[in-house]
Structure 1
Amino acid sequence: MIVLPGGGYEMHAAHEAEPVADWLASLGVTADVLRYPVPVRHPGPVEAVRAEIAGLRRRGVRRIGVLGFSAGGHLAGYTALAPDARPEERPDLAVLCYPVVSMLTEHHSGSRVNLLGAEATPAQRRQASLEELVTPHAPPFFVWHSSDDQAVPVEHSYRLAGALAAHGVPHELHVFPHGRHGLGLAQDDTSVGAWTGLCARWLAGMGVARDAAEGDGTSG
C-alpha cells in the first residue's frame, strides 16, 4: 500500500503518514509513505504516484493499493481513475479517508487552487473531479467520511459513491455521524476510530491483509 497523507496539496500531515504505514504493517500489509511534491500543479503529484507504482511493478509487486487522506485521498482516487494512465501505473484498489473528491464545488478551495491554480477553467476542474472519471473498469474502493466534516463536506464522498454505484464498481462507504476533519487513525475517537477495523476487514476480503479475525485492526 502506498500511503498519501493529506495537507491541502500544500504540505503533508505527519499523523496521516508513518503511523498509518505502521498500522498497515500490523495487518501484514507492506506499506510506504509517499510524500508527493507540493505545492506543485497538476499533473505533478499524480505523476509521482504513477512512477512509484510502476517502479513497484518492475520489482515484481503484483498487487498495489493506494490509501489517502483528504487531498491525499483525492490524489489516491485520481491515480485509480485517471483515463490517461498506463496499465502498469494503475493501483488495484483504493482507500479514501475524508477525501476531496470534486473540484467543481467551492468547498475546500485551497486544494483546488494549489493543484489547478486560481484561474482553472470549468473544464479543467471537471477533468480533476473524481466523480467525473469513474468508469466500469475502476478498481474497488473503500471510502469513509464524517457527516459533520466542516472542512471537506461529506457531499464529496457521496458524489464519488454515487458515481461508483452508477457504474457498478465494487465499493464500501462508511459515514460516521460526528468527527472533525483530519482525524487520521482516530484512535482517540470511539466512533470514528472504528474505520480501521472496517478497513482491515475490507482489505482482508481483497486478499491483501491478514484475516481480520486475527485482530481488531486497530493497532498501530
Structure 2
Amino acid sequence: MTKFAPFLVFLLLPFLVISQTELPLYDGPVPNSKDVPNEETSEVRPDGILVISKVSVPTLTVYQAEKPNGKAIIICPGGGYWILAAGHEGHDVAKEFAKRGVTAFVLKYRLPNGATMVDKSIGPLQDAQRAIQMVRENAEKWNVDPNQIGIMGFSAGGHLASTAGTQFHREVIDNPNKTSLRPDFLVLIYPVITFDPVVGHSGSSKNLIGERPSQGMINLYSNDKQVSAETPPSYLVHSKDDPVKIENTFLFVEALKQHGVPYGTTIYASGGHGYGMVNKTSEVRWMDELEKWMGAL
C-alpha cells in the first residue's frame, strides 16, 4: 500500500456506501402530540434485531439510489404498534432497494401511546401521510418520479401501509398544497390487515385502538373493508404457517379482485413471521419477485 492509499480510501469512502440522511418528519411541532419528554430508546437484541421503542418524534431516513430509476418507496417497519424492528424490516431493506435503483425512505413513525398523543389511533397514519407528502413535494430533489411513490410495511407496519393506501381521502394532516396523499403502489409483507378478532392480530389492534374498541373502529381499521377501485396496485408476501394469519393477505387480495385492482403475491408454504427479506425455508426471494412486478408498473 502506498503512502497515499489511506487518503484515497478516505476520499472514496462516500462513494462506496449508500448515501443516507435522517430528517425530521415535520418542519415544526409534531401534530397531535402532548408536551412530554422524549423517552425513545433503541437496542440491538441478542438475535441481532434492532428494536426502537417509545417513538414520539418521527423521522424519515433517505437512502439515495445508486442509479435512480425514478421509483421511491417508504418503508414502515413492523413491531405490533409497540416497537419498531427498524433494522431487518427497515434500514437493511432500504439499502437493498437503493442498490436496485429505488430511492428508499425508512419511516420511524410514532408508536401509539395515550401518554404522548391526543388521539393515538391516528398518530401513525399522520406520519405515513406526512411521509408521502414530503417525498412527493421533494421528488425533484431526490430524483424521484412523483407518480412512482410507493409505501410498504412489515406486519403492523403493513397495517399502517395498507391504511395509508386505502384511506388517503381521510386526511389527518395539514395539506395546504393539496398534495396527493395516495401512494402509487403498496407492498405488504406478512401484513396485519384486519382487526376482526377472529383473524386479526390482537396486540396491534389493542395498541392502536384500545382494548374495547367500538365495532365502527374495528371496521375502520380493517383495511380489507376499505379497498376501493382507487386503491393502488399491491404486492403481498405471506407464509401459510404465519401466526399473523395468512387470511389477512387473502382478505385483502379478495377485496382487490372485487374492485379490479392489480396485485401480485409471493406465498410461502412455511417460514413463520418476521423474517424480513429472506425466508430461509425457501429459495424464492420475494425481493426478486417484487422487483419484476415493480418493473411492470
Could you tell me the TM-score, scaled by structure 2's length?
0.66
In the alignment, the residues of structure 1 paired with residue 158 and residue 233 of structure 2 have an alpha-carbon distance, to the nearest angstrom, of 14
In the alignment, the residues of structure 1 paired with residue 255 and residue 160 of structure 2 have an alpha-carbon distance, to the nearest angstrom, of 17
As a proportion of its length, which structure holds more strand?
A: 2
Match of 1:95 among 187, 193, 199: 187
Secondary structure of the equivalent of 1:12? strand
Matched, 1:74 2:153: no
Partner of 1:195: 286
Amino acid corresponding to residue 6 of structure 1 in structure 2: G
Report percent identity of matched pairs.
37
In the alignment, the residues of structure 2 paired with residue 55 and residue 80 of structure 1 have an alpha-carbon distance, to the nearest angstrom, of 16
In the alignment, the residues of structure 1 paired with residue 290 and residue 201 of structure 2 have an alpha-carbon distance, to the nearest angstrom, of 25
- The answer as to whether partners of 1:131 and 1:160 remain within 8 angstroms in 2 is yes
In the alignment, the residues of structure 2 paired with residue 120 and residue 126 of structure 1 have an alpha-carbon distance, to the nearest angstrom, of 10
- The answer as to whether partners of 1:149 and 1:180 remain within 8 angstroms in 2 is yes
Partner of 2:250: 158
- The answer as to whether partners of 2:151 and 2:185 remain within 8 angstroms in 1 is yes
1:123-142 map, 5 Å: 123-142=216-235
Deviations 1:114-149 (Å, cap 9, x if unpaired)?
Answer: 010112111100011111000011110000100011
In the alignment, the residues of structure 2 paired with residue 94 and residue 6 of structure 1 have an alpha-carbon distance, to the nearest angstrom, of 15
In the alignment, the residues of structure 2 paired with residue 67 and residue 27 of structure 1 have an alpha-carbon distance, to the nearest angstrom, of 16
Matched, 1:84 2:156: no
- The answer as to whether partners of 1:102 and 1:156 remain within 8 angstroms in 2 is yes
- The answer as to whether partners of 1:176 and 1:191 remain within 8 angstroms in 2 is yes
Q: How many corresponding residue pairs?
A: 204
Structure 1 pair 112–192 and aligned structure 2 pair: CA distance change class (3 A): farther
Secondary structure of the equivalent of 2:291? helix
In the alignment, the residues of structure 1 paired with residue 112 and residue 209 of structure 2 have an alpha-carbon distance, to the nearest angstrom, of 10
Deviations 1:32-65 (Å, cap 9, x if unpaired)?
Answer: 1101001342110010111111122222341211
Deviations 1:159-200 (Å, cap 9, x if unpaired)?
Answer: 00000001100011221100110010116x151752111011
Gap runs ≥5 in structure 2: 1-72, 114-119, 172-177
Match of 1:122 among 204, 215, 237: 215
- Give the number of the structure with larger relative contact order, counting CA–CA contacts within 8 Å between residues 6 or more apart: 1
In the alignment, the residues of structure 1 paired with residue 288 and residue 281 of structure 2 have an alpha-carbon distance, to the nearest angstrom, of 12
Gap runs ≥5 in structure 1: 207-220
- The answer as to whether partners of 1:102 and 1:128 remain within 8 angstroms in 2 is yes
Deviating beyond 6 angstroms after TM superposition, the runs of 4 or more aligned structure 1 residues are none
Secondary structure of the equivalent of 1:31? strand
In the alignment, the residues of structure 1 paired with residue 265 and residue 74 of structure 2 have an alpha-carbon distance, to the nearest angstrom, of 20
Secondary structure of the equivalent of 1:45? helix
In the alignment, the residues of structure 1 paired with residue 266 and residue 137 of structure 2 have an alpha-carbon distance, to the nearest angstrom, of 34
- The answer as to whether partners of 1:21 and 1:32 remain within 8 angstroms in 2 is yes
Matched, 1:34 2:107: yes
Amino acid corresponding to residue 143 of structure 1 in structure 2: L
Match of 1:10 among 77, 82, 91: 82
Q: CA RMSD in A?
A: 1.5
Structure 1 pair 192–129 and aligned structure 2 pair: CA distance change class (3 A): farther
Match of 2:206 among 95, 102, 113: 113
Amino acid corresponding to residue 76 of structure 1 in structure 2: A
Partner of 2:138: 59
- The answer as to whether partners of 2:76 and 2:152 remain within 8 angstroms in 1 is yes
C-alpha displacement of 1:87: 5.7
Higher Cα radius of gyration:
2
Amino acid corresponding to residue 127 of structure 2 in structure 1: A
C-alpha displacement of 1:105: 2.6
As a proportion of its length, which structure holds more helix?
A: 1
- The answer as to whether partners of 1:11 and 1:39 remain within 8 angstroms in 2 is no
